Chain A
Amino acid sequence: MNSQLTQLKSALRLFGVIAIFGSFSAFAGGPVGDHVNHLSDNLDKYTEEVNWLIKKVDGIVVRYEKSGAKEAKADAVVDHWEAVKFHAAIESNYVPVYAAIWQGLFGVKESIDNGKPMAAVRVEQHKLEQALWQALGAVKLAAQFQERGLLTKVALREGGPTNSVEALDQVKMRLDRVVAKFAEKLVKESVDIVHDTYLNLFEGVEGDLIAINADLVEDLEKDFNVTLPKAIQGKKSSVDDVRRVVDLMHGKIDIARALLTEKDKKKKDVF
């Protein structure tokens, strides 16, 4: 019963994210492909790709065990991941797991490159496999929502928010992308997303918000301009460090969202 409840909560949470994510499509890796708007038709293909990817990564790990880091050619994990369509399916639907996949890929690659013991490499491999299965589950759930017409079509370009609440939803999505790009080792791109999100989205909201809670705005200002860029650019920062900052920001943005939603109810009529 508890497990079912947890699953349901996860599903609802996921749907919430997906519903928001549907309008966003600033993909770093080029055109996304229309298959993301036909998830159900492609589930077999995605499953096949996940199995293929797991097998490929296992091959790398086995080579490492037998012949060492050079023969393992661990760089290939990234090429394999970028080669699959499933990449876009999860990137367009659930960025938090997308980031975890990148974290897993680099976990395997770096543990091999650094000559870590086999047990440690297997731990990283296991984390990657978990992230991939979790991602496949998320895409399958998204497919169900899409079939019921509950999922917004993945847009060819980002739609502009029509109010502060929508803008904050986009801010949260973009912060997830910051983690994802950091996990891809794209530090500059990650910082660029932070700056762009601040200037083009949050900055348009904070004028509204400051009239309600100036301290919250001040806190988020610091997060956008100091704390998060510093976490991304820190020499010893891990994906978990960056994710921790983003999670805290999400919490503050949720408070901001609630305040602005409440304010909207009291807004006077134009005419």
Chain B
Amino acid sequence: MQRRTFLHSMALFGALGVCPSLLANSVSGSANAISVEQLPELKGELTLYLGRGEGGLYEDVLNAIKKRNPSFKLNIRRGPTAALANAIVAEAKAGVRRADLFWAVDSGAIGLVSGAGLAQSLPKDLISQLKPEFQFSNWIPVTGRIRTLPYNTERLSADKIPDNIMELPESGLSIGWAPAYASFQSFVTAMRLIAGENATADWLKRMNDKATRYAGELGVVMAVERGEVDLGLANHYYTLRLKSGKPNARVNLAFTQNDAGCLVNASGIVALKEGDLAANFIRYLLTQEVQSYLASEAYEIPLVGNVAPPKGLPTLDTISPPKVDLTKLADLRPTLSLMRKAGVL
């Protein structure tokens, strides 16, 4: 078993109390985030397709934007992200465009829309606000989430956890996972893109013999905390939220290195309509205020220059996530096929 070269302890987070707040001085990045005070007023009308997000926090952001811009009308259609992406593509094929913007909770859905040639190019000064690894010509990542290995602190010490995801099945640890969960499937897609089909199929089979299945990833984290399993596979925010409500929870986060196990995925927005209004609307999502709000309230990772991550999470420059074209995570079909063949689904 390899000794981990990077492990993050959340002891500080636990000691500082319940409410999430921000670390002010620990991020790297490109430009400073712009304040909402510097933005032009929005005037006109847009229709946004909004993938279901984090307990209405995206809605809070949208309401705040509407309140600040009384001459701006925002029509919203809500639904599961994948269904909206399919609707946008289907509408385009039928020769209609109902959505001007699409805010998706995962980048795979963005890939589906941009792959159909529907995403408009965005202004360079807007793109350059993002950290360099999140700069794309035709979509804007809004916030990030990272794959983690939450582990039970009473059953396990950090140095017993492999820093290579491929070694997990043979680690001798009991593991919890949620294969039906969309974020897990994006992670397997990333593994397929990085390690190849054969290695991924082999990993799934080896894991399937060892892992305990849960319906969702919060369930995984809670099982880890209860000690049902030693560690689990889950997005970072479940652990941070659990620690927020239960500061003495017996769970910490570990990260693998430079593989799909520490993939940073993102929610993102794409403009389907040319023009300043759609681009200016997106500028609001990258403001200091919105990025900070989503970090502190939803525990999501800000992707703009100088905005701090949620407390309890290391900064992105101290983790070594793999380099993956996030829009390629839309290619789910081969992933699901591999998972079915391995008996995981």
Query: Which residues of A come within 8 Å of B, CB atoms?
Result: 159-164, 166-167, 195, 198-200, 203-208, 210-214, 217-218, 221, 224-225, 267-271
Q: Is the CB of A207 within 8 A of B218?
A: yes
List 25 A-B residue pairs with CB atoms under 8 Å apart, sorted by A's residue number.
A160-B52, A161-B56, A162-B56, A162-B78, A163-B59, A166-B56, A167-B55, A167-B56, A195-B215, A199-B181, A199-B215, A199-B216, A204-B52, A204-B54, A205-B55, A207-B237, A207-B298, A210-B238, A210-B241, A214-B242, A221-B222, A268-B296, A268-B297, A269-B64, A271-B289
CB under 8 Å from chain A, chain B span 222-278 = 222, 237-238, 241-242, 244-246, 249
In the A-B complex, the 7 residue pairs with the smallest Cβ-Cβ separation, listed nearest first, are: A160-B78, A163-B56, A270-B64, A208-B55, A211-B245, A164-B55, A211-B244
Please, which residues of chain B bring their CB within 8 A of the CB of A269?
A: 64
Interface size on B, residues (CB 8 A): 41
Residue of B nearest to A224 (CB): B215
Please, which residues of chain A bring their CB within 8 A of the CB of B36?
A: 271
Residue of B nearest to A264 (CB): B56
Residue picked from A198, A203, A207, A270, most chain B C-beta under 10 Å: A270
Query: Which residues of B come within 8 Å of A, CB atoms?
Result: 18, 36, 50, 52-56, 59-61, 63-64, 67-68, 78-80, 180-181, 214-216, 218-219, 222, 237-238, 241-242, 244-246, 249, 289-290, 293, 296-299
Task: Give the docked Cα–Cα distance between A84 and B138 (Å).
Answer: 52
Q: Is the CB of A217 within 8 A of B289?
A: no
Q: Is the CB of A210 within 8 A of B219?
A: no
Q: Is the CB of A267 within 8 A of B218?
A: no
Task: Give the docked Cα–Cα distance between A198 and B219 (Å).
Answer: 11
Question: What is the predominant secondary structure among interface residues of chain B facing chain A?
Answer: helix
Q: Is the CB of B215 within 8 A of A214?
A: no
Q: Is the CB of B218 within 8 A of A221?
A: yes
Given the interface contacts A160-B52, A200-B80, A211-B244, does A218 sit within 8 Å of B215 by beta carbon? no
Please, which residues of chain A bring their CB within 8 A of the CB of B214?
A: 225
Please give the distance in Å from B143's CB to the nearest CB on chain A.
Answer: 14
Residue picked from B55, B63, B215, B289, most chain A C-beta under 10 Å: B55
Q: Is the CB of A270 within 8 A of B289?
A: yes
Given the interface contacts A195-B215, A199-B180, does A218 sit within 8 Å of B245 by beta carbon? no
Please, which residues of chain B bring their CB within 8 A of the CB of A195?
A: 215
Please, which residues of chain B bring their CB within 8 A of the CB of A203?
A: 216, 218
Please give the distance in Å from B33's CB to the nearest CB on chain A.
Answer: 13
Please, which residues of chain B bring their CB within 8 A of the CB of A212?
A: 245
Task: Give the docked Cα–Cα distance between A271 and B249 (Å).
Answer: 32
Residue picked from B56, B60, B245, B289, most chain A C-beta under 10 Å: B56
Q: Is the CB of A270 within 8 A of B293?
A: yes
Given the interface contacts A211-B244, A267-B60, does A221 sit within 8 Å of B293 by beta carbon? no
Question: What is the predominant secondary structure among interface residues of chain A facing chain B?
Answer: helix
Residue of B nearest to A270 (CB): B64
Please give the distance in Å from A137's CB to the nearest CB on chain B.
Answer: 34
Task: Give the docked Cα–Cα distance between A162 and B79 (Å).
Answer: 10
Please, which residues of chain A bring their CB within 8 A of the CB of B218?
A: 203, 206-207, 210, 217, 221
Q: Is the CB of A210 within 8 A of B215?
A: no
Q: Please tell me which one of the listed residues A198, A206, A267 contacts residue B297 in the complex, with CB atoms under 8 A apart.
A: A267
Q: Is the CB of A198 within 8 A of B245?
A: no
Task: Give the docked Cα–Cα distance between A204 and B80 (Å).
Answer: 11
Q: Please tell me which one of the listed residues A159, A164, A198, A207 contacts residue B215 in the complex, with CB atoms under 8 A apart.
A: A198
Residue picked from B18, B222, B249, B290, most chain A C-beta under 10 Å: B222
Q: Is the CB of B215 within 8 A of A225?
A: yes
Please, which residues of chain B bring their CB within 8 A of the CB of A198?
A: 215-216
Please give the distance in Å from A83's CB to the nearest CB on chain B.
Answer: 32
Residue of B nearest to A202 (CB): B216
Please, which residues of chain B bring their CB within 8 A of the CB of A162?
A: 56, 59, 78
Please give the distance in Å from B83's CB to the nearest CB on chain A.
Answer: 10
Task: Give the docked Cα–Cα distance between A206 and B244 (Å).
Answer: 13
Task: Give the docked Cα–Cα distance between A218 and B222 (Å).
Answer: 7
Task: Give the docked Cα–Cα distance between A161 and B51 (Å).
Answer: 11
Residue of B nearest to A201 (CB): B52
Residue of A nearest to B84 (CB): A160
Given the interface contacts A163-B55, A198-B216, does A271 sit within 8 Å of B78 by beta carbon? no
Please, which residues of chain B bring their CB within 8 A of the CB of A218?
A: 222
Please give the distance in Å from B21's CB to the nearest CB on chain A.
Answer: 11
Task: Give the docked Cα–Cα distance between A213 and B245 (Å).
Answer: 6
Please, which residues of chain A bring their CB within 8 A of the CB of B244?
A: 210-211
Task: Give the docked Cα–Cα distance between A200 and B52 (Å).
Answer: 8
Task: Give the docked Cα–Cα distance between A224 and B216 (Å).
Answer: 11
Please, which residues of chain B bring their CB within 8 A of the CB of A163?
A: 55-56, 59
Sample of 5 more A-B contacts, CB < 8 Å, known A207-B218, A270-B64, A271-B289: A164-B55, A199-B180, A204-B52, A221-B218, A270-B289
